[in-house]
């Protein structure tokens, strides 16, 4: 069976916590309130700024856009750029949370998942009365598109092996393999910031993107220098670490934690979500709702 019931229990957060800031792409100010949720509820976003406070489950079936971020849509109500928050929740093994928002995009914080991890650690974790169900596989599942490959293989713990390749002197090829635990996520993955190239900024803004982007919340890469205020990276291979962070957030849209090895070459949001759909088609057909 692809779903294995473990001896570990599901977890939610112990108390409400709030994060304020601006959205990376919309530039809208947003207050995001993380609240405990019942066992089996999964992760959901609630637009409290709209009539009837519509709920958007964090599930791949609701993804409507993957341009520079992962956007959820339900009945034309959207929440943009959900992957950093979802990555923090996945990294900390938190199953059930409601995220209330008074705008259409979560705060970008510093462009990484670390501020959300630290906030959720302040909230604490509470074990619930239902065991975790993990998604597993007994055979490889391979997604390919152009130069991109994503592969799921049997493993006892969640492991991500990622390679990025950019024809750029400051990036080139970077590889990293990590066994994902709360400790390794906070240390090795969560601090890695989103990035773009300086020549992309104007084009992104013409597309209505990166309106909230700044040197405070993104690594902007020039031909021979890093433009952000520190003028340096948090890791020599910060770019591949951020790709892993994004991948973990997108993968959590399958609605279950995964016990498997993920190997990723040249991944991105569109490929990540298509990979999730392929996994669901192979292992969860027909696809379940967005509850654990």
Mark 82-108 as b/e (b = at least 16 C-beta within 10 Å): bbbbbbbbbbbbbbbbbbbbbbbbbbb
CA distance 46 to 50: 9
Strand order in the sheet with 159-165: 141-145, 148-154, 260-265, 159-165, 173-179
Measured N-to-C along each axis, helices 238-251 and 269-283 cross at an angle, to the nearest 10 degrees, of 40
Any alpha helices (H) in 92-209, and if so which ranges? 114-123, 182-184, 201-206
| Residue 269 is among the residues annotated as catalytic for this protein | yes
Cα–Cα distance for residue pair 272/280, rounded to 1 Å: 12
What CA–CA distance (Å, rounded) separates 210 from 203?
10
Residues 252, 178: Cα–Cα separation, whole Å? 17
Note whether 45 and 58 are within 8 A (CB).
yes
Q: Name the pairing type of β-strands 141-145 and 195-197.
A: unpaired
Q: How many whole angstroms separate alpha carbon 169 and alpha carbon 166? A: 8
Which of 25, 80, 242, 269 does the annotation list as catalytic?
269
What is the spatial distance between Cα 251 and Cα 142, in angstroms, rounded to a whole number?
A: 14
Catalytic positions, please? 269
């Amino acid at each position: 069976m692809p779903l294995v019931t473990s001896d570990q229990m599901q977890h939610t957060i112990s108390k409400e916590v709030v994060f304020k800031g601006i959205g990376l792409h919309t530039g809208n100010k947003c207050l995001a309130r993380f609240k405990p949720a019942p066992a089996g509820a999964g992760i959901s976003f609630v637009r409290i700024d709209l009539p009837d406070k519509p709920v958007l489950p964090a599930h791949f079936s609701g993804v409507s856009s993957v341009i520079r971020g992962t956007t959820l849509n339900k009945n034309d109500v959207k929440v943009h750029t959900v992957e950093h928050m979802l990555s923090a929740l996945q990294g900390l093994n938190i199953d059930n949370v409601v995220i209330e928002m008074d705008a259409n995009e979560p705060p970008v914080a510093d462009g990484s998942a670390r501020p959300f991890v630290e906030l959720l650690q302040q909230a604490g974790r509470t074990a619930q009365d239902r065991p975790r169900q993990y998604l597993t596989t007994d055979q490889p599942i391979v997604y390919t598109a152009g130069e991109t490959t994503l592969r799921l293989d049997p493993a006892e713990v969640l492991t991500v092996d990622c390679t990025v390749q950019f024809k750029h002197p400051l990036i080139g090829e970077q590889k990293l393999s990590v066994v994902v635990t709360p400790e390794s996520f906070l240390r090795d993955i969560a601090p890695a910031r989103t990035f773009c190239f300086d020549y992309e900024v104007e084009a992104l803004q013409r597309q209505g993107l990166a309106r909230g982007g700044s040197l405070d919340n993104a690594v902007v890469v020039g031909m021979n220098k890093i433009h952000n205020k520190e003028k340096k990276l948090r890791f020599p291979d910060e770019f591949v670490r951020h790709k892993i962070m994004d991948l973990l957030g997108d993968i959590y849209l399958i609605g279950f934690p995964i016990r498997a090895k993920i190997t990723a070459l040249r991944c991105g949001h569109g490929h990540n979500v298509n990979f999730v759909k392929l996994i669901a088609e192979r292992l969860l057909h027909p696809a379940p709702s967005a509850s654990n």
